[in-house]
Amino acid sequence: MLYQFLTFIIFLTMLNVSYGYELVVIQGLSKEKQTFITRNHKENEIIEGKKRTFTSDNVSIIAKAITITGEFTQWEIENDFTDVPFTRGQIVTMYDAEEYLWTLTPEKIKRRYIKDKIYSPRRSMEVMLGFSKGLSESTSESETQNTDRGGYEFAALYHKELSMNWSFGYGVRYSKEIINIADASFINQRFLAIAEGRYHFDPMENFYNSQIGLSLGFGIGQSRTETSGQAIFGNAVMIPSTKISLALPINKDYDAEFSTGFESYRLDESTASDIDLTTNLTNYTLGVAFRKHL
């Protein structure tokens, strides 16, 4: 905690010295949302009538200091037809400029310094429940048949962030599928060790701070297919799994994630009479996961 606090102070100092920008917290808003309050700092040198520009991720406003006390300053926005676009407790950038109101450069600088100076990679554990639907299937030593194939899967993964946009995870997955053909039914079970890389887009502040993710995964393990009391065993390889996901923060410790994607498998199995069978599968998947940040 002390290290993070000191890092944050260094971050603020660098902003002030290098760029003339300062991060401030919105302490309160008037009922009419025409004025707002920030806490004073000795280096502000703010007097009544002084104007400052306040910038968040997607909006900038010019406001004038109308009341100054020993601890706080009350600001009034210039446009009477616009409400203050901030919320209480929000961190915004304040700087001494009245032109180029539309520029978002201060927020870009803030995000860059947060990434470089304050950001600390997180670790997490997630559990996932998914459902699959077969799209295509081919098996050696047998004629192509129309199949109806679907099932479910469970997975548990450990994830570590490499940066604010990249993470890597590994874990285990159990899958069970039922394959129906014209005159028989099969059950295929797979147990895999899996690994995946994921790219996280920046959070969407206007949609609950959710994040879209793109994942590419691989897996290797064992396969078992059985019918009418007979079973064949072999190896299973997932090459690869592609997925798009939407993560919704529940709170600072938990996320819920919804995903959809495609998976390709190669199953190399052998019968009791030493007949080798190779099956290639392609599935469409839907899943929901819950993540706990450690």
Q: What is the CATH number of the domain that holds 217?
A: 2.40.160.20
Domain containing 71: what range?
2-118
**Pair (152, 274) in one structural domain:** yes
Distance CA 197, CA 169 (A): 6
Same-domain status, 224 and 132? yes
Residue 93's contacts (CB-CB under 8 Å, 6 or more residues apart) are: 21, 22, 23, 24, 54, 55, 56, 106, 107, 110
Peptide bond into 240 cis (omega under 30): yes
**Cβ atoms 182, 145 nearer than 8 A:** yes
Whether residues 67 and 158 fall in one domain: no
Residues 94 and 187 in one domain: no
Out of 85, 118, 151, a domain closes at 118
What pLDDT does 118 receive?
54
- 180 token code pair: 């129906």
Please identify, among 118, 142, 160, the residue that sits at the C-terminal boundary of a domain.
Answer: 118
Say yes or no: 110 and 234 in one domain.
no
> CA-to-CA distance for 41 and 94, rounded, in angstroms?
12
Q: Give yes or no: residues 206 and 146 share one domain.
A: yes
48 in the same domain as 184: no
- What is d(CA 192, CA 95) in angstroms, rounded to the nearest whole number? 54
Same domain, 110 and 183: no
Residue 182 and residue 50 in one domain: no
DSSP at 206: T
At residue 107, the pLDDT reads 53
CATH number, domain containing residue 25: 2.40.10.340
Answer whether 292's CB lies under 8 Å from 126's CB: yes
Domain co-membership, 39 together with 101: yes
Q: Could you tell me the two tokens for 44?
A: 């502000």
End-of-domain residue from the set 54, 88, 118: 118
Q: In tens digits, what is the pLDDT along the chain, a chain of 294 residues?
A: 544 444 444 444 444 444 457 888 889 888 888 899 998 765 567 788 888 888 887 677 888 899 888 788 999 987 766 788 888 888 888 887 655 444 445 555 555 555 555 567 889 999 999 999 999 888 876 666 678 899 999 999 999 998 888 999 999 999 999 988 877 888 999 999 999 999 999 888 788 889 999 999 999 999 999 887 788 889 999 988 999 999 999 988 899 999 999 999 999 988 777 788 898 999 999 999 999 998
Q: In terms of domains, do 88 and 49 share one?
A: yes
Q: Domain tally for the chain?
A: 2
Contact 130, 291 (CB under 8 A): no
CA distance 235 to 18: 59
Q: How far apart are CA 214 and CA 245, in angstroms?
A: 7
Statement to judge: residues 41 and 172 lie in one domain: no
User: Where are any strands of DSSP class E within the chain?
Assistant: 21-29, 35-39, 51-55, 60-68, 72-77, 91-95, 123-139, 148-161, 166-181, 184-200, 211-227, 230-249, 254-270, 276-293
